[in-house]
Amino acid sequence: MILNTPCQPLYLCGPTASGKSSHALTLARSLGGEIVNADALQLYRGLEIITAAPTEEERRRAPHHLYGVADPADSLDAARYRKLALPVLEEISSRGKLPIVVGGSGLYLKFLTHQPADLPSGNPDLRTELEKLSLAELNRCLEQVDPIEAARVDQNNPRYVQRALEVSLMTGRPASTQRTSFAKSPGALRGLLLSWDPSLLEERIRRRTSYMLDHGAVEELAALSELGPALSRAIGIPQLQRLLDGQIDRNACEEEIVIATRQYAKRQRTWFRREKWLTSVPGDSSGERIIATAHTLLQGDPTTEPGVS
């Protein structure tokens, strides 16, 4: 199925280690599509092993976009990602190709599928000060200025906590009273959600973590001269840094990464369950089933209720 007219993207979503990259390649080769990254960490270059980014061989088999485009010292957010991604999607579509947006970063995907309401952009000086605080300190500050938002936000995600605190401090009003609202972006929403039994997904997380450590993750981190706040707190980075510093051994590092990744995958599943426009498909489905489901979505009626939050 090769598309010759401009089209809306096909989204391929799922928790970490769910097989998104492999299935995306299958879809791209079958549908004449081009893969667009929506994973927050795979935007950064120099971390291909740690972030399980597509390999060079995989990238040769189909066009890939927005992988390794940011310096590790930089700090991207969902709004900046949207500005990067929209022109790429439009350019692919203008050539009659199918953009296949692939990722597990829920907020980044939300900023593509729905038009975010206006909120103040970050203040560089304030952001610098907040980035000096630990996650525990950020949570304590947010509890003081906006206890409602502090109870709602994912307190294990420093980016979310910092942003809520930033909005409250910049506007002088609690972030909970001005939460980002989303309106559906123009066009159809069509997406696949790769679903796994939690125990099977944990096995995949363990295998991927072990592979990462066996194939140069420590050396990859050691080669980086500087990490921005977005990466320095990302799952795997603190644990690998402690391994480099001799604070923990290989086994402890691996187990800590597995636990943190498993917890993150649970939060991802919760996020995606709220996105009612996504069509769930077993993560271990054959390529033929994935392609058939995608065909059905692309040929069906546009989504009318995309799960606006």
Question: Tens digit of pLDDT per residue, the chain (309 long)?
Answer: 444 444 689 999 999 999 999 999 999 999 999 999 999 999 999 999 999 999 999 999 999 999 999 999 998 888 899 999 999 999 999 999 999 999 999 989 998 998 766 656 667 778 778 888 888 888 899 888 888 888 878 788 787 788 888 888 887 788 777 655 545 555 679 999 999 999 999 999 999 999 999 999 999 999 998 999 889 989 999 999 999 999 999 999 999 999 999 999 999 999 999 999 999 999 999 999 999 999 999 987 444 333 333
Specify the pLDDT at position 305: 39
- Residue 45 sits in a domain whose CATH number is 3.40.50.300
Query: Within this chain, do residues 146 and 264 fall inside the same structural domain, yes or no?
Result: no
Range of the domain at 129: 124-177
Alpha helix positions (H), the chain? 20-31, 56-61, 78-94, 106-113, 124-131, 135-145, 147-152, 158-171, 198-214, 217-222, 229-232, 237-244, 250-273, 287-299
134 and 228, same domain (yes or no): no
Residue where a domain stops, chosen among 147, 162, 177: 177
Q: Answer yes or no: do 272 and 146 share one domain.
A: no
Are 134 and 188 in a shared domain? no
153 & 198 share domain: no
CA distances from 178 to 8, 111, 139, 181, 210 (A): 30, 17, 19, 8, 42
> Closest Cα to residue 262, out of 210, 177, 202, 207?
202
State the virtual CA torsion across 258, 259, 264, 268 in degrees, nearest 10: 80
Residue 18 domain-assigned? yes
Q: Is the dihedral of CA 164, 170, 175, 181 positive or negative?
A: negative
Shortest CA distance to 36 belongs to which of 22, 49, 48, 24?
A: 24
CATH number at residue 173: 1.10.20.140
Q: What is the DSSP letter of 44?
A: B
pTM: 0.79
221 and 286 in a single domain? The answer is yes
245 in the same domain as 215: yes
Question: How confident is the model at residue 169, as a pLDDT?
Answer: 86
52 is a domain residue: yes
> Considering the domain boundaries, does residue 61 fall inside one?
yes
Domain boundary among 136, 157, 177: 177
Residues 295 and 266 in one domain: yes
Tokens, residue 53: 């980014």
- Looking at residue 302, what is its pLDDT? 47
Distances 14 to 165, 196, 260, 268 between C-alpha atoms, Å: 28, 9, 17, 8
CA distance 43 to 118: 24
Alpha-carbon gap, residue 35 to 149, rounded angstroms: 35
Give the per-residue pLDDT at 124: 75
For residue 235, what are the contacts with CB-CB under 8 A and spacing of at least 6? Answer: 257, 260, 261, 264
Strand, coil or helix: 145? helix
**Number of folded domains that form the chain:** 2
* Residue bearing tokens 């990067």: 84
Q: Determine the Cα–Cα distance for residues 52 and 38; give it in Å rounded to an integer.
A: 13
Domain match, 205 and 88 both: yes
State whether 53 and 194 are in the same domain: yes
The answer to whether 68 and 44 are in contact (CB under 8 A) is yes
Q: Are 39 and 104 spatial neighbours (Cβ–Cβ below 8 Å)?
A: yes
The answer on 188 and 170 residing in a single domain is no
Pairing assessment for the beta strands 114-116 and 182-184 based on DSSP bridges: antiparallel
* Residue 174 CB neighbours (<10 A): 18
- Indicate whether 66 belongs to any domain: yes
Query: Do 86 and 231 fall into the same domain?
Result: yes
